């Protein structure tokens, strides 16, 4: 059956595996073999217990078309934050669109562009990093991506350079994506002492269409470097999204992640960060907004391998309708990793009686001189706070919206880039207004 | 009932008000009339019901009114939602102001200000104009503009929270302001600032009900009338000198003089 999936997706028969440099081919072949051997995860698999992937496994998906569908720049405009001075790479239904993309003048040596194009020309950086971070013996979804990916965003910032403007990967789907599986593959490499800010968006122009996005993003944060990585998932609410972000951090580096999830019938994101050396800082912020029958699942894993590192994680969720959220936060602390300072928080706000949360912190600590804390809450809007807002003249519904917005905004504040922060603010307010109707406590 | 502008009326007229929290009756028949521009101090020992009175007037959902009536500018106050009371010009400064992380003081206050304007049929004002308006109001509590970008009461000291309540009062310009133990937990400097703020806001069109345990604040905010509560009732009323007498003789004196038993839990 798993072999059939590979056939349907034209991974075995098609040109995908053979496409690209020689060193990549055996890696992709091995990944295909691995997927063929293990197939989709079973529901008894602990890692996938709360993630109903049956609709993905039971659908016969077609491969995404190899060429980008035509999309007018106007229709794309709402998704790119109105910042023409940012480099933007646009992928339509998985294929790179040169006409919609815009790569601005960059510091000498910096590389920003399509991964597939880079694979045709370049060697060493890709060979050192692509498929070297996200383990192919990990999730079968990762193996399938490795075997089947066609394109995605590439950012490479050489040592000591500062990418002063953000780079935005926009993965957009159109009605043409109906019934297809898309395997975007992104690679972000920030070399020694370099700085960058990358945004990765999954958006749609086909809000009623069923498709499946299976992205993998590999991130290498070298010694002394700094990266802010914002991931915004706004797929069709009928689509499936199963993604992995794998980050390897070296000595003295700083990685800051913000993950927003509001789309998908089923949306899962795994964020794995490995702290390979000393004095590393990792910040992971997340926000998920769910409604209707959506299932949104965040699995995070932080691996502290060496001493004196700090990881700080805050994920917050706002759930409405009959939706469900899953949060699983693993923190592993190796015996060598003394003086680890790890804090994890997951807070959920239920707007409906029918919404549900499965939250599970999972701390496995093998060092004895560490500071590791975790906390999870599931609750409703605070009555006293509601009364406070109402006693100032704000009507009940607007007060509920205001406090819900406040709950979400507290984590959005952590996004360093102001235009992105404003856009996320706007998305939250828009969603809350759509949900509750009536006048809003306007933002200004 | 909608005609509330044509003639001079009492701002607040409380008659035989009874209220309970759960099964426990806390207010056992309150009578109080407040006229325009007057400052009334409501004092009393812990558990006498003075904070409950403040909260019932603001419409706190934890309390149930079981009997009596409250007219606010001739309207049935008890029939109004908390937001309607605020829109009609009633304001309560909370004893424990609520922290709202994630929303700036400016955003929250402008939302409230605009809701009140909307209710009056006035146009909402934009953030630039609001900043201009704030500049004046911030002086009332001796604050600079930086406080406005901090999240509402979040991480504020006790004194800052109380000052923020007075700032809200200054911006929302109520006709009736109820201060619920605004002096509690204040050091002398904060008390001075808060009291000076209140004094600035005193006017013939604005009445105050100052709920307090201690006479201390009344040295700064000099009341026209002082009422002493005991066991859910107003046991004694008088002028500002009553507060001083009370300071000297203690609440037991009121209970003895009025024949009422000691306040529950006092």
Residue B263 lies in a domain: no
* Phi then psi dihedrals of residue A386, to 5 deg: -60, -45
Residue B22 lies in a domain: yes
CB contact under 8 A, A396 and B83: yes
pLDDT category of residue B261 using cuts at 50, 70 and 90: low
Residue B251 lies in a domain: yes
Residue A2, pLDDT score: 84
Residue B122 lies in a domain: no
- Asked if residue A266 and residue A400 are part of one domain, the reply reads no
- Asked if residue A391 and residue A271 are part of one domain, the reply reads no
Residue A324 lies in a domain: no
CB contact under 8 A, B103 and A396: no
Indicate the pairing of strand A62-63 with strand B39-43. Answer: unpaired
Residue A57 lies in a domain: yes
- State yes or no: pLDDT of B7 exceeds 50: no
**Residue with token string 């499965």:** A358
Residue A404, pLDDT score: 97
Residue B94 lies in a domain: yes
Domain of A146 in residue numbering reads as 2-277
- State yes or no: pLDDT of A251 exceeds 50: yes
Alpha-helical regions (H) of chain B: 50-58, 82-87, 105-119, 127-140, 158-172, 188-201, 241-249, 251-258
Mean pLDDT of B153-157: 95
What does each C-alpha distance from A18 to A11, A13, A29, A122, A137 come to in angstroms? 10, 10, 9, 16, 20
Chain A residues with beta carbon closer than 8 angstroms to that of B130: 444
CB contact under 8 A, A393 and B101: no
Alpha-carbon dihedral of residues A180, A32, A299, A414, nearest 10 degrees?
-70
Alpha-carbon dihedral of residues A291, A292, A293, A298, nearest 10 degrees?
-10
Domain of B76 in residue numbering reads as 12-102+174-258
Residue A96 lies in a domain: yes
Residue A206 lies in a domain: yes
Summarize pLDDT for A112-129 with one digit per residue, the tens: 999 999 999 877 899 999
- Asked if residue A249 and residue A109 are part of one domain, the reply reads yes
Q: Indicate the residue among A255, A277, A299 that finishes a domain.
A: A277
Q: Indicate the residue among A252, A277, A302 that finishes a domain.
A: A277
Summarize pLDDT for B92-146 with one digit per residue, the tens: 999 999 999 999 999 999 999 999 999 999 999 999 999 999 999 999 999 999 9
Q: Indicate the residue among A277, A300, A323 that finishes a domain.
A: A277
Residue of chain B nearest A441, judged by CA positions:
B111
- State yes or no: pLDDT of A436 exceeds 60: no
Structural Rg of chain B based on CA atoms: 18
pLDDT category of residue B264 using cuts at 50, 70 and 90: very low
Q: Per the structure, how many domains does chain A have?
A: 2
Mean pLDDT of A218-227: 98
* % of chain A residues with pLDDT over 90: 82
CA–CA distance, A251 with A273 (Å, rounded to integer): 13
- State yes or no: pLDDT of B253 exceeds 90: no
- Asked if residue A394 and residue A249 are part of one domain, the reply reads no
CATH number at residue B35: 3.40.50.300
- State yes or no: pLDDT of A334 exceeds 50: yes
- Asked if residue A249 and residue A100 are part of one domain, the reply reads yes
- Asked if residue A259 and residue A403 are part of one domain, the reply reads no
pTM of the full structure: 0.91
Residue A13, pLDDT score: 65
Q: Which is higher by pLDDT, A131 or B265? A: A131
CA–CA distance, A12 with B69 (Å, rounded to integer): 81
* % of chain B residues with pLDDT over 90: 83
Residue B110 lies in a domain: no
- State yes or no: pLDDT of A145 exceeds 90: yes
Identify the helix (H) or strand (E) that includes residue B79: none
> Which residues partner with A155 through β-bridges?
A112, A188
CA-CA-CA-CA torsion sign (A388, A378, A441, B126): positive
Residue B264 lies in a domain: no
Chain A residues with beta carbon closer than 8 angstroms to that of B119: 393
Q: Per the structure, how many domains does chain B have?
A: 1
Chain B residues with beta carbon closer than 8 angstroms to that of A441: 107, 111, 114-115
- Asked if residue A181 and residue A55 are part of one domain, the reply reads yes
Count contacts between A and B (CB, < 8 Å): 91
**Cα A335 from chain centre:** 30
Mean pLDDT of A318-332: 97
């Amino acid at each position: 059956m798993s072999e059939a999936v590979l056939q349907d997706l034209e991974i075995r028969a098609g040109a995908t595996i053979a496409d690209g440099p020689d060193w990549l081919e055996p890696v992709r072949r091995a990944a295909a073999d691995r997927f063929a051997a293990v197939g989709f995860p079973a529901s008894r698999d602990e890692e996938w217990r709360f993630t109903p992937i049956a609709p993905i496994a039971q659908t016969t998906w077609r491969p995404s078309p190899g060429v980008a569908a035509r999309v007018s720049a106007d229709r794309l405009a709402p998704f790119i934050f109105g910042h023409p001075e940012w480099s933007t790479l646009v992928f339509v239904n998985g294929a790179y669109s040169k006409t919609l993309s815009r790569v601005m003048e960059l510091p000498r040596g910096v590389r920003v562009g399509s991964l597939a194009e880079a694979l045709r020309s370049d060697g060493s950086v890709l060979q050192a990093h692509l498929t070297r971070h996200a383990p192919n013996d990990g999730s079968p979804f990762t193996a399938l991506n490795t075997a089947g990916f066609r394109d995605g965003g590439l950012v490479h910032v050489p040592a000591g350079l500062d990418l002063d403007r953000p780079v935005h990967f926009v993965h957009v789907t159109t009605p043409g994506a109906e019934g297809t599986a898309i395997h975007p593959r992104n690679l972000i490499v920030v070399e020694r002492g370099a700085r960058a800010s990358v945004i990765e968006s999954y958006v749609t122009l086909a809000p009623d269409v069923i498709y499946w996005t299976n992205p993998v993003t590999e991130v290498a944060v070298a010694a002394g470097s700094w990266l802010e990585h914002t991931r915004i998932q706004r797929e069709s609410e009928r689509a499936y999204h199963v993604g992995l972000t794998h980050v390897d951090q070296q000595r003295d580096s700083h990685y800051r992640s913000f993950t927003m999830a509001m789309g998908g019938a089923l949306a899962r994101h795994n964020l794995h960060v490995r702290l390979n050396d000393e004095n590393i800082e990792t910040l992971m912020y997340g926000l998920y907004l769910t409604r209707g029958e959506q299932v949104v699942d965040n699995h995070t894993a932080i691996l502290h391998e060496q001493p004196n590192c700090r990881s700080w994680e805050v994920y917050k969720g706002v759930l409405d309708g009959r939706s469900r959220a899953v949060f699983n936060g693993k923190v592993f602390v190796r015996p060598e990793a003394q003086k680890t300072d790890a804090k994890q928080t997951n807070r959920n706000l239920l707007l409906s009686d029918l919404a549900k949360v499965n939250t599970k912190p999972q701390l496995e600590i093998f060092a004895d001189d560490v500071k590791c804390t975790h906390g999870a809450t599931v609750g409703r809007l605070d009555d006293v706070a509601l009364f406070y807002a109402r006693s100032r003249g704000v009507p009940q519904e607007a007060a509920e919206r205001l406090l819900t917005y406040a709950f979400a905004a507290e984590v959005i504040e952590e996004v360093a880039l102001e235009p992105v922060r404003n856009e996320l603010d706007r998305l939250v307010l828009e969603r809350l207004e759509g949900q509750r109707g009536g006048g809003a406590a306007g933002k200004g | 009932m909608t005609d509330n502008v044509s003639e001079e009326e009492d701002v607040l007229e409380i008659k035989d008000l009874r209220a309970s929290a759960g099964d426990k009756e806390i207010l056992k028949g309150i009578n109080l009339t407040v006229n325009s521009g007057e400052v009334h101090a409501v004092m009393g020992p812990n558990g006498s019901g003075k904070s409950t009175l403040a909260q019932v007037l603001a419409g706190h959902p934890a309390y149930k009114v079981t009997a009596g009536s409250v007219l606010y500018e001739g309207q049935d106050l008890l029939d109004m939602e908390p937001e309607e009371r605020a829109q009609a010009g009633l304001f309560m400064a909370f004893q424990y102001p609520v922290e709202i992380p994630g929303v700036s003081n400016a955003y929250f206050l402008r939302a409230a200000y605009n809701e009140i304007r909307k209710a009056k049929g006035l146009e909402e004002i934009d953030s630039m104009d609001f900043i201009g308006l704030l500049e004046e109001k911030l002086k009332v509590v001796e604050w600079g503009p930086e406080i406005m970008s901090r999240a509402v009461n979040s991480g504020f000291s006790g004194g800052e929270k109380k000052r923020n309540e007075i700032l809200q009062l200054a911006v929302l310009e109520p006709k009736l302001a109820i201060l619920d133990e605004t002096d509690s937990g204040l050091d002398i400097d904060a008390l001075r600032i808060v009291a000076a703020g209140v004094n600035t806001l005193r006017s013939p069109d604005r009445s105050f009900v100052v709920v307090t345990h201690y006479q201390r604040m009344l040295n700064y905010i000099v009341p026209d009338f002082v009422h002493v509560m005991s066991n859910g009732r107003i046991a004694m009323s008088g002028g500002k000198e009553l507060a001083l007498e009370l300071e000297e003789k203690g609440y037991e004196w009121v209970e003895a003089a009025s024949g009422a038993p000691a306040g529950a839990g006092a």
